């Protein structure tokens, strides 16, 4: 039986922070594909507030601990929204060029070892900015910086030959999703927003291809 193991690596949007159903988009996504004909294990490796600097330091060791020889090991990345956050009195958390360089280091190494998908960063939650995630901390987001990083990631993924799903553009055009940003924890979307995100990924050919049945070798080799 196929032993499919998927590490979802990233930040609070991988984790599903703010979802009242505690599923996020990855829980909903994997539920859609659950099938008793194979074993699927998914790992939530999302840490709230993590930037690409943070994820670069931990992604490989965390995935290595969860993958086993002989299993069908795969990785889905999503990161970047925390990089563009402006911290009051401190400035942007990670500059765009550093974000891109970090992404290259992670995605390139991962793709050399396992099948990889890259899901883009979501829209900035401008409606609820500035935010106060903890006492004494104020952060602000702008869609222009989030949009710029998304465009850089699209180009970077193309150069690396890794499938990239731009979710930012369709989510910006989806009023239900944009409304969900104000119904969550005032920092992330609510469960309905994560459901919309999951539907986008589920319909993506990059993701769907991971679940296509294997075609038998007519030569028997």
Query: Residue 219 falls within a domain, yes or no?
Result: no
Query: Residue 87 falls within a domain, yes or no?
Result: no
| CA 194 vs CA 112, 146, 164, 200, 207: distances in Å | 30, 18, 18, 10, 17
- Planar angle of CA 141, 142, 144, nearest 5 degrees: 150
* CATH code of the domain in which 157 resides: 3.40.50.1110
Q: pLDDT 10s per residue in the chain (221 long)?
A: 899 999 999 999 999 999 999 999 999 999 999 988 899 999 999 999 999 999 999 999 999 999 999 999 999 999 999 999 999 999 999 999 999 999 999 999 999 999 999 999 999 999 999 999 989 999 999 999 999 999 999 999 999 999 999 999 999 999 999 999 999 899 999 999 999 999 999 999 999 999 987 644 445 43
Whether residue 130 is preceded by a cis peptide bond, meaning omega within 30 degrees of 0, is: yes
This prediction has a pTM of: 0.94
Which pLDDT belongs to residue 214? 60
Q: Answer whether 178's CB lies under 8 Å from 143's CB.
A: no
Query: Residue 53 falls within a domain, yes or no?
Result: yes
Element (H, E) at 27: helix 24-33
Query: Residue 129 falls within a domain, yes or no?
Result: no
| Residue-by-residue DSSP string for 166-198 | --HHHHHT-HHHHHHTTTSSSSS--HHHHHHHH
In the block, tokens 């939530």 appear at 44
Query: Residue 155 falls within a domain, yes or no?
Result: yes
Residue 98: domain span: 3-82+94-122+149-211
């Amino acid at each position: 039986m196929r032993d499919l193991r998927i590490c979802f690596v990233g930040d609070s949007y991988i984790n599903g922070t703010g979802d009242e159903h505690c599923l996020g988009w990855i829980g909903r996504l994997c539920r859609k594909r659950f099938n008793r004909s194979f074993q699927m294990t998914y790992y939530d490796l999302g840490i709230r507030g993590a930037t690409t600097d943070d994820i670069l330091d931990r992604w490989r060791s965390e995935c290595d601990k969860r993958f086993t020889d002989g299993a069908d090991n795969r990785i889905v990345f999503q990161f970047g929204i925390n990089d563009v956050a402006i911290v009051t009195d401190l400035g942007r958390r990670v500059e765009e060029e550093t974000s891109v360089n970090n992404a290259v280091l992670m995605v390139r190494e991962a793709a050399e070892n396992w099948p990889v998908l890259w899901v883009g960063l979501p829209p900035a939650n401008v409606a609820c900015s500035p935010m106060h995630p903890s006492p004494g901390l104020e952060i602000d987001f702008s869609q222009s910086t989030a949009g710029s990083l998304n465009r850089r990631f699209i180009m970077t993924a193309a150069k690396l030959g890794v499938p990239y799903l731009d979710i930012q553009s369709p989510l910006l055009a989806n009023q239900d999703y944009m409304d969900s940003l104000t119904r969550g924890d005032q920092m992330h979307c609510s469960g309905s927003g994560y459901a919309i995100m999951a539907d986008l990924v589920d319909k993506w050919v990059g993701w769907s291809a991971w679940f296509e049945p294997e075609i038998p070798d007519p030569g028997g080799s």
